[in-house]
A = this chain, B = another copy of it.
Amino acid sequence: MSTLYYTLDNTVFRNFSFYAVASILKMMIMSPLTVRQRFQKNAFANPEDIQQQNRKTIQATTSDSDVERVRRNHLNDVENIIPFVLIGFGYIACNPNPTLAVWHFRIFFVSRLLHTFAYQIPLRQPSRAITCMIGGIATISMAIQILLQVY
């Protein structure tokens, strides 16, 4: 009988579940942050989002620089966190060394936290570029380990 990998008895799956959920929640926080920024700057993308009494003075806009900064951060999360979670699911079936695996998950998660701070404070470049690259390397390292096992 082959071993079951997709169960909470498997340390790798257990750790992955924690860091995958944490990373996705980090990504989802960008939605309320965008909404907060829209209210602070009175920059709404849809006419119906503007409060009734302000419709004569405020126009819908999709070019407020502070709102767009949060939205670019959100899209960058989508482009990086979702590949990490999808590739991580496949990585579990490769039965990797649990210590090696958890360090991939930890480094990825921390790199994405730091990336958000670097983007939103914002810190001087190349802080943001480096944090983004470190997360990408963790994902690509898992991807290569899968490809080496399946072919």
A→B interface (CB under 8 Å): 2-9, 13-15, 17-18, 20-22, 24-25, 27-28, 30-31, 45-46, 48-49, 60, 62-63, 65, 68-69, 72, 74-75, 78-80, 82-83, 85-87, 89-90, 93-94, 122-125, 128, 132, 136, 139-140, 143, 146-147, 149-151
Complex CA gap A72/B21 in Å reads 25
- Cross-interface CB contact of A48 among B30, B49, B125, cutoff 8 Å: B125
Chain B neighbourhood of A13, CB < 8 A: 93
Contact (Cβ within 8 A) B87 A86: no
Which of B62, B68, B146 is the one whose CB lies under 8 Å from A17?
A: B146
Tallying the copies of this chain within the complex gives: 3
Known contacts A8-B150, A17-B93, A124 near B74 by CB under 8 Å: no
